[in-house]
Amino acid sequence: MNTIPANTSSNSLPKWGALERSQWLAQQSVKRSYQFEVVNKIEQLKQNFEVSQYGALEYDVQKYPLYLIKNRHWDDQLPVILITGGVHGYETSGVQGAIRFLKTQAYQYKGQFNFIVAPCISPWGYETINRWNPYCVDPNRSFYQALINGELSTQQGSEEANKFMQAISAISNNVYAHIDLHETTDSDNNEFIPALNARDGKQPEPRETPDGFYLVGDTDNSQDECMAFIIEGVEKVTHIAPADNQGCIIGSPLSQRGVINYALESLGLCAGVTKAKYRITTEVYPDSPKATDEICINAQVASVMSLLEYLK
Ligand SMILES: [Zn+2]
């Protein structure tokens, strides 16, 4: 097999080339079923929602269809709420939380909002419990509009992000609020961050995993009042992450209790993919001794509902 020679970075650790990437991929395996845990549940939603397929991952088009779910009786006069999950496929409660919200709560908001929901943007990552896609790309660093316009090198892109951006392009300027459902896990520190450092030829830097729920807002439009409202709502379901000794969560200073802000667009984050007034990322901590799978799903649902209550 031909391989691209490994690059070297300024601090002289070698970056991964094609060989290392293929070795990484060879170590991954399917650990759960996207069909059984996700697609079958989406099928059941067809009774009450418009379900459409916006493509499939080229990696295996049979196994990895991609879905968008909208409410019936779309009303152009109502604000559009975008809910995304499974941008990081391993973050289970984001996927299951989006589905649970639709199944059990969305009916209450009939006539108040339009919903467009992508419950699992990275189905290969869901099945193999991975942060990256099969090509060692983090989908949540690849939501660059310029990629689908052909203005940016495709190396920075991911099929997961590109297909989703194309699927929502007709409505992305009309989205009023976007909530992207994530988790921060112990495997970030134990597995995914070490792999990222190895891939990019960087020295590892220790990072504390915050014990509890937190939100990531937009540096350019932080919507502090809304964020505080969501934290208050989620706190009824699960505990909120405290700041570390430096007053930070995952290296970023708190803007208020349980909230940090990121430059969503320049980092290529999914939450920066629309021009929505409210752009929010949730972070649930499933590995806490105080959390269960069910608490984590309920925390995601509570995040969505608190946002909607705030907007009502
Ligand atoms: Zn994530």
pLDDT the model gives residue 9: 43
Q: Rounded to the nearest whole angstrom, what is the distance from the C-alpha of residue 132 to the centroid of ligand 1?
A: 10
Residue 90 C-alpha to ligand 1 middle, in angstroms? 8
Span from the CA of 182 to the centroid of ligand 1 (angstroms): 4
- If one counts every other C-beta atom within 10 angstroms of the C-beta of residue 112, the result is 13
Q: Once rounded to an integer, what is the mean pLDDT over residues 68-73?
A: 96
Would you give the DSSP letter of residue 213? B
Q: Record the tokens describing residue 238, joined without a space.
A: 């699960």
Question: Cα of 302 to ligand 1 centre, how many Å?
Answer: 18
Cα(11) to ligand 1 centroid in Å equals: 28
> Does the pLDDT at position 275 exceed 80?
yes
Residues 235-266 have pLDDT tens digits of 999 999 999 999 999 999 999 999 999 999 99
User: Ion ligand 1 — residues with CB under 5 Å?
Assistant: 88, 91, 182
Please give the mean pLDDT across all residues of the chain.
Answer: 93
Ligand 1 centre distance from Cα of residue 190 (Å): 15
Neighbours of 120 (CB within 10 A): 30
**Beta carbons within 10 angstroms of residue 22's beta carbon:** 15
Say if residues 1 and 23 touch (Cβ distance below 8 Å): no
Q: Cα(300)–Cα(302) distance, rounded to whole angstroms?
A: 5
Give the residue-averaged pLDDT of 86-109.
98
Can you tell me the mean pLDDT for 99-115?
A: 97
What is the secondary structure of 194-218 as a DSSP string?
HHHHHHHT------PPPSSBEEEEE
Ligand 1 mean position, distance from CA 111 (Å): 31
In the chain, what are the domain boundaries? 18-311
Max mean pLDDT range (20-24, 141-145, 149-153): 20-24
CATH 3.40.630.10 describes domain 18-311: yes
- pTM: predicted TM-score of the whole model, two decimal places: 0.94
Write out the H or E segment, with its range, that includes residue 301: helix 293-311
195-242 pLDDT, tens digit each = 999 999 998 887 889 999 999 999 999 999 999 999 999 999 999 999
pLDDT at 1 (0 to 100) = 40
